[in-house]
């Protein structure tokens, strides 16, 4: 999140970027391999749709409904979640709600959404775009800011099991390449063409 953006404004920007990639995937594209080992494009959406509502509800009691199964319609499931997050962040009452989580302590819900979910959606935008042959460029300033915020917590992040081993990239690489390497992605990864 930039200093000028609220969590709601940030979500509208990042959520829209991911949504544009989701909406460009045709039915055959959901089975395409993704940069995360063992995942498909559908699994990128599944990850976001499944982990965040449970995280939010367990720490705040707020329940986001996603009635559509990712297996049935990943785009519809994503749209349901995106609308729920947008409504949550647009609600002025959300700023007064605190998330209590044993790993992060007490954090205002809108800040927790920004720090954990919006940032995750931003990074997974590359995964979905790369899996489905779309524009995979990410905002370089946001990449640099995310990387600067995560590097001091690298040991804890690796220990969590949510990030793979760091992938070596050139020291003079651009911010997106450095961020991807940090989170365990091979920036040069390309889907294998099926024949």
Here the tokens at position 120 are: 């995750």
Question: Which of 136, 164, 185 is the C-terminal boundary of a domain?
Answer: 136
| CA 37 – CA 102 distance, rounded (Å) | 29
Helix residue ranges per DSSP H, 64-103: 74-90
Q: What phi and psi, each to the nearest 5 degrees, are found at residue 26?
A: -85, 170
Question: Which of 109, 136, 163 is the C-terminal boundary of a domain?
Answer: 136
What lies within 8 Å, CB to CB, of 189 at 6+ separation is 35, 130
Note whether residue 2 is domain-resident.
Answer: no
**Do residues 17 and 80 share a domain?**
yes
Note whether residue 13 is domain-resident.
Answer: yes
**Do residues 117 and 173 share a domain?**
no
pLDDT tens figures, 115-142? 999 999 999 999 999 999 999 999 999 9
Based on C-alpha coordinates, what's the Rg of the chain?
A: 16
pLDDT tens figures, 73-111? 999 999 999 999 999 999 999 888 999 887 778 999 999
pLDDT for 22? 98
Q: What is the pTM of this model?
A: 0.93
CA angle 34, 18, 183 (to 5 degrees): 50
């Amino acid at each position: 999140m930039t200093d000028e953006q609220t969590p709601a404004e940030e979500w509208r920007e990042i959520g829209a970027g991911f949504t544009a990639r989701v909406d460009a995937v045709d039915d055959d594209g959901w089975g395409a391999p993704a940069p995360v080992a063992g995942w498909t494009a559908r699994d990128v959406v599944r990850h976001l749709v499944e982990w965040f509502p449970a995280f939010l509800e367990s720490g705040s009691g707020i329940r986001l409904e996603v009635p559509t199964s990712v297996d049935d319609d990943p785009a519809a499931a994503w749209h349901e979640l995106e609308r729920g997050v947008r409504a949550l962040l647009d609600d002025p009452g959300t700023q007064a709600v605190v998330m209590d989580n044993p790993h992060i302590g007490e954090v205002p819900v809108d800040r927790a959404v920004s720090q954990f979910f919006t940032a995750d959606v931003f990074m997974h935008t590359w995964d979905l775009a790369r899996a489905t042959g779309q524009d995979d460029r990410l905002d370089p300033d946001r990449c640099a800011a995310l990387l600067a915020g995560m590097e001091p917590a690298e040991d804890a992040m690796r220990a969590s099991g949510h990030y793979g081993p760091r992938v070596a990239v050139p020291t003079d690489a651009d911010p997106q390449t450095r961020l991807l390497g940090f989170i365990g992605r091979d920036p040069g990864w390309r889907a294998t063409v099926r024949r």
